Amino acid sequence: MSTDKAQATENGEAQAVQGDSLTVTDNRTGESYEFEITEGTVSAMDFRQIKVSEDDFGLMTHDPGLSNTSHCRSSVSYIGGEEGTLEYRGIPIDQLCDYSNYLEVAYLLIYGHLPTEDEYNDWVYQVTHHTFVHENIKDFMHGFRHDADPMGMLLASVGALSTFYPEAREIQNEHERHMAAVRLIAKMPTLAAFAYRHSLGLPYVYPDNELSYTGNFLNMLFKMSEAKYEPDPRVERALDVLFILHADHEQNCSAATVRTVGSSLTDPYTAITGGVAALYGPLHGGANIQVVEMLERIGSTENVPDFLEGVKNGNERMMGFGHRVYKNYDPRARIIQDHIEEVLEATGKQNPLLDIARELEKRALDDEYFTDRKLYPNVDFYSGVIYEALNIPTEMFTVMFAIPRTSGWMAQWMEWMNDEELRIVRPRQIYTGARDADYVPINER
Ligand code: ACO
């Protein structure tokens, strides 16, 4: 083990002890190999030495979905999958939700420490003063059909931002990186709100710099003819907590996509567009839409037992349940629940889907099918219900996820750009197709 690695192990409290190794015997040749175990991992490249002959390519590891492959070192966020905990830069998510706010958390994720008062004030000022988008973006948005999905509009417009800030291609320049972080975090709510207003045929509302990050977002979504929009502080705070909860989640599908796209050394706007695209799918950011559709389909608490039978028979999937990493209650789902009543009180709404969700959860947590498979509610089980209570339409749910996740993507991208192990992501494959096939002219096929 090199001195560097030994140091990293000590400081990172990783489990590996100096001298840990793995001995592998290749039964095809009888040869044995010893590989170093560091930080609970072996290097996949070590396996390349295992060959049956000189001209053999060497052994590869096969891991679809990268379920058991670490693809980077990261100190941004940590998930305790077994115990159901989440930390950003080592700080438990519940503390951040209780004492911090989304913009402070965004700074923490990106710069690795809580800001001093001056740093915080400067950061908030910068984000607040970069919320406007170029007027041409508005024209660009006008080009979408009236019924265009807001997430598709967001995807396209974030991608377009790279053309407005070509200087962001200077990815080694610290100032340009910082400005891309400020601009992306500042403009994401504006783009999201414009996409929403477009779908309703309503005029776009420009940012109000006197409001908080979430207060301004609510203003851009919901302001009508009033001279000044005044957000309900309970709604503003609940949304801020939701944004904190969604800010980062280690190497999930979209963060891994941002790193993959970024590995080709493209600009951060383009890399983050990759994250938005990955988030669009129903197994990732789109899951809470499916949860609401599922709850609507169930219709009433009486139908819950039949629905659960359908899940157990494999005819249904319980959306908002289960997670690749959490094998316990997702801490984010618990924190969201704490805010649901408050939001319902503020908006004066009753949401019958909440009763169905609670009944589903109660019965599932009492059922061996779910407990044996360690299937618990994830963040999406209740996030759709709370967004509904906030008057956010279903088609905006994934957009609501993309806004705060931008800070996590940016933190992951910056960390990756500083990583001495950075190299272009280029996986291998097990080729299953034909070889040496001949081209057949079209008239002979
Ligand atoms: N409903 C019913 N059964 C489930 C569910 C579910 N939601 N999730 C997993 N299972 C079952 C699987 O069928 C499998 O059972 P088996 O062993 O009998 O075959 C077992 O639990 C293990 O599940 P996998 O599919 O191997 O788990 P994986 O880690 O690949 O999938 C995933 C994780 C995609 C999140 C899955 O649990 C799922 O589809 N959940 C519903 C979608 C969802 O809520 N996604 C949001 C995730 S959080 C986020 O992205 C922010």
Angle (deg, nearest 10), helices 213-222 and 174-200: 30
In this prediction, residue 389 has a pLDDT band, given cuts at 50, 70 and 90, of confident
Strand, helix or coil for residue 204: coil
Q: With helix as H, strand as E and coil as C, how does 281-316 read? A: CCCCCCHHHHHHHHHHHHCCHHHHHHHHHHHHCCCC
Largest CA distance in the chain: 81
In this prediction, residue 23 has a pLDDT band, given cuts at 50, 70 and 90, of very high
Pairing of strands 77-80, 31-36: unpaired
State mean pLDDT over 408-414. Answer: 98
- CA of 317 from ligand 1 middle (Å) equals 8
Query: Buried b vs exposed e over 177-208: b needs ≥16 C-beta within 10 Å?
Result: bbbbbbbbbbbbbbbbbbbbbbbeeeebbbbb
What pLDDT score was predicted for residue 390? 86
Question: Amino acid identity, residue 366?
Answer: D
Average pLDDT, the chain: 92
Question: Measured from the CB, is residue 66 less than 6 Å from ligand 1?
Answer: no
Question: Measured from the CB, is residue 318 less than 6 Å from ligand 1?
Answer: yes
What pLDDT score was predicted for residue 69? 96
Q: Would you give the distance in Å from CA 108 to the centre of its chain?
A: 17
What tens digit of pLDDT does each residue of 209-235 get? Answer: 999 999 999 999 999 999 999 999 999
What pLDDT score was predicted for residue 218? 96
Nearest ligand 1 atom to the CA of 324 is 29
Question: Measured from the CB, is residue 323 less than 6 Å from ligand 1?
Answer: yes
What pLDDT score was predicted for residue 348? 85
Question: Measured from the CB, is residue 321 less than 6 Å from ligand 1?
Answer: yes
What tens digit of pLDDT does each residue of 87-96 get? Answer: 999 999 999 9
Share of the chain above pLDDT 70, in %: 96
CA 45/CA 60 separation, integer angstroms: 8
Nearest ligand 1 atom to the CA of 378 is 48
- CA of 322 from ligand 1 middle (Å) equals 5
- CA of 408 from ligand 1 middle (Å) equals 23
CA 262/CA 412 separation, integer angstroms: 10
State mean pLDDT over 425-443. Answer: 97
In this prediction, residue 410 has a pLDDT band, given cuts at 50, 70 and 90, of very high
Residue with CA closest to ligand 1 atom 50? 284
Pairs from 270-275 (Cβ < 8 Å, separation ≥ 24): 270/159, 270/162, 271/409, 271/413, 272/158, 272/184, 272/406, 272/409, 272/410, 272/413, 273/155, 273/158, 273/159, 273/162, 275/402, 275/405, 275/406, 275/409
Residue with CA closest to ligand 1 atom 16? 373
State mean pLDDT over 266-279. Answer: 98
What pLDDT score was predicted for residue 221? 96
Of 86, 317, 385, the one to substitute when testing ligand 1's pocket (max ligand atoms within 8 A of C-beta) is 317
State mean pLDDT over 254-258. Answer: 98
What tens digit of pLDDT does each residue of 354-368 get? Answer: 999 999 999 999 999
What pLDDT score was predicted for residue 293? 93
**pLDDT > 50? residue 283:** yes
What pLDDT score was predicted for residue 192? 97
- CA of 67 from ligand 1 middle (Å) equals 13
What tens digit of pLDDT does each residue of 102-148 get? Answer: 999 999 999 999 999 999 999 999 999 999 999 999 888 999 998 89
CA distances from 254 to 66, 147, 261 (A): 13, 26, 10
Q: Would you give the distance in Å from CA 177 to the centre of its chain?
A: 20
Question: Measured from the CB, is residue 51 less than 6 Å from ligand 1?
Answer: no
**pLDDT > 90? residue 398:** yes
**pLDDT > 60? residue 5:** no
Nearest ligand 1 atom to the CA of 320 is 44
Residue with CA closest to ligand 1 atom 39? 283
Residue with CA closest to ligand 1 atom 28? 324
Nearest ligand 1 atom to the CA of 246 is 51
What pLDDT score was predicted for residue 8? 34
What tens digit of pLDDT does each residue of 319-361 get? Answer: 999 998 898 999 999 999 888 888 888 888 778 899 999 999 9
Pairs from 62-71 (Cβ < 8 Å, separation ≥ 24): 62/430, 66/256, 67/324, 69/44, 70/41, 71/251, 71/256, 71/259, 71/425
Of 378, 381, 382, 397, the one to substitute when testing ligand 1's pocket (max ligand atoms within 8 A of C-beta) is 378
Q: Would you give the distance in Å from CA 358 to the centre of its chain?
A: 25
Question: Measured from the CB, is residue 250 less than 6 Å from ligand 1?
Answer: no
Instruction: Indicate which residues carry an active-site annotation.
Output: 284, 323, 380
Nearest ligand 1 atom to the CA of 249 is 51
- CA of 116 from ligand 1 middle (Å) equals 41
CA 297/CA 304 separation, integer angstroms: 10
- CA of 324 from ligand 1 middle (Å) equals 7
Query: Buried b vs exposed e over 73-90: b needs ≥16 C-beta within 10 Å?
Result: ebebbbbebeebbbbbbe
What tens digit of pLDDT does each residue of 293-309 get? Answer: 999 999 999 999 999 99
